[in-house]
Structure 1
Amino acid sequence: MTDFERSGPPLVSVILCVYNGERYLREAIDCALHQTYPAVEVVVVDDGSTDGTDAICRSYGDRIRHLPERHLGLAGARNLAIRSARGRYVAILDHDDHWHPEKLTRQVRLFFNRPKLGLVYSNYLQINPAAQVMEEKSAAERGMRRGRVLPELYERNFIGNTTVVIPKPVLAEVGLFDERLCYSLDWDLWLRICHQHPIDYVDEALASWRWRPNYAEDHHEIMLREAYQIVSTRQPRLADRLTDAQNQSVENRLARISFSLGRLYGRAGRVPTAIEWIQRSIRHEIFTPEQPRALKSLEDLTALAAASSPPGRDGI
Structure 2
Amino acid sequence: MPKVTVLMPVYNGELYLKEAIESILNQSFKDFEFLIINDGSTDSSEEIIKSYGDSRIRLVNNERNLRLIATLNKGLELARGEYIARMDCDDISHPKRLEKQVKKMNSDESIAICGTGFKVIGKHGLKPLILTDFKSIRNYLHIGNCIVHPSIMIRKSILRKNNYYYDPLYTHIEDYELFVRISKKYKIVNLNKNLLHYRLSPNGISRQFSDKQYERTFNLSEQALQNKGIMLNRKPYMKLQLQKIEILQAQQEIKNILTSSNYSEYDINEILRFLWLDVCTRGTSNGLSILRTFYSFKELKVRKLPKSYQIYFIIKCLIKRKKPY
Whole-angstrom distance in 2 between the partners of 1:253 and 1:206: 33
Deviations 1:3-50 (A, max 9, x none): xxxxxx961100001111111112111111211112111011111111
| Superposition TM-score, scaled by structure 1 size | 0.70
Matches within 5 A, 1:210-249: 210-213=199-202, 216=206, 218-239=208-229, 247=230
Matches within 5 A, 1:114-129: 114-128=108-122
Partner of 1:118, secondary structure, is strand
Deviation at 1:261, TM superposition (A): 12
Aligned twin of 2:5 = 13
- Tell me how far apart the structure 2 counterparts of residues 168 and 204 of structure 1 sit (CA, whole Å): 23
Aligned match of 1:314? none
Give the equivalent residue in structure 1 for 2:142.
Answer: 154
Q: Distance in 2 between matches of 1:225 and 1:201?
A: 25
Alpha carbons of 1:208 and 1:135: their partners in 2 closer, same or farther (altered >3 Å)? farther
1:45 partnered with 2:37: yes
Letter of the structure 2 residue corresponding to residue 219 of structure 1: F
Partner residue, 2:151: 163
The 1:136–1:118 alpha-carbon spacing in structure 2 relative to 1, beyond 3 Å, is: farther
Correspondence list, 1:96-107, <5 A: 96-107=90-101
Specify the alignment match of 1:26 in structure 2: 18
TM-superposed deviation, 1:210: 0.4
The structure-2 alpha-carbon separation of the partners of 1:162 and 1:234, relative to structure 1 and needing over 3 Å to count, comes to same
Structure 1 counterpart of 2:74 = 80
Deviation per residue, 1:183-233 (Å, 9 max, x gap): 211111111121111222221101100012486564232112321332234
Bigger Rg, which one: 1
Residue 186 (structure 1) aligned with residue 175 (structure 2): yes
Structure 1 residues 95 and 167: CA distance shift in structure 2, 3 A: same
- 3-state SS of 2:192 partner: strand
1:202 aligns with 2:194: no
The secondary structure found in structure 1 opposite 2:41 is coil
Partner of 1:145: 132
Tell me how far apart the structure 2 counterparts of residues 220 and 81 of structure 1 sit (CA, whole Å).
25
Which residue number in structure 2 is paired with residue 304 of structure 1? none
Question: 1:122/1:115 Cα in 2 relative to 1: closer, same or farther (>3 Å)?
Answer: same
Cα 1:123–1:113 change in 2 (3 A) is closer
In 1: Cα distance, 2:126 partner to 2:94 partner: 14
Distance, in Å, in 1 between the alignment partners of 2:237 and 2:155 is: 33
Gaps in structure 2 of 5+ consecutive residues = 255-275, 284-325
Q: Where in structure 2 are the equivalents of 1:270-289 lying within 5 Å?
A: 286=254, 288=279
Pair 1:39–1:127, CA change in 2 (3 A): same
Q: Give the distance between the partners of 1:217 and 1:110, measured in 2 at CA.
A: 32
Distance 1:121 1:91, change over 3 A: same
Deviation at 1:94, TM superposition (A): 0.3
Distance 1:187 1:261, change over 3 A: farther
Q: Residues 102-154 of structure 1: CA distance to partner in whole angstroms, max 9, x if unpaired? A: 001111111224100111111101013xxxx53574434xxx43222222122
SS of the equivalent of 1:206 reads strand
Spell out the pairing of 1:85-96 with structure 2 (5 A cutoff): 85-96=79-90
Residues 4 and 33 in structure 2, CA contact (< 8 A), matched pair in contact too:
yes
From 58, 65, 70, give the equivalent of 1:71. 65
TM-score (structure 2 length as normaliser): 0.68
Q: Is this contact kept in 2: 1:87–1:168, CA < 8 A?
A: yes
Does 1:256 find its partner at 2:244? Answer: no
| Aligned-partner Cα distance in 2 for 1:205–1:101 | 11
Paired residues of 1:231 and 1:254 also in contact (CA < 8 A): no
Letter in 2 for 1:41: E
Which residue matches 2:165?
176
Alignment partners' CA distance in 2, 1:20 and 1:150: 34
Give, as a single letter, the amino acid of the residue that structure 1 aligns with 2:10. V
Deviation, structure 1 residue 52: 0.4
Residues 214 and 82 of structure 1, relative CA distance in 2, 3 Å threshold: closer
For the residue of structure 1 that corresponds to 2:211, the secondary structure is helix
Q: What residue identity is the alignment partner of 1:256?
A: Y
For 2:171 and 2:197, locate their aligned partners in 1 and report how far apart those are by CA, in whole Å: 22
Fraction of identical pairs, as percent: 27
Quote the Cα distance in structure 2 between the aligned partners of 1:254 and 1:157.
17
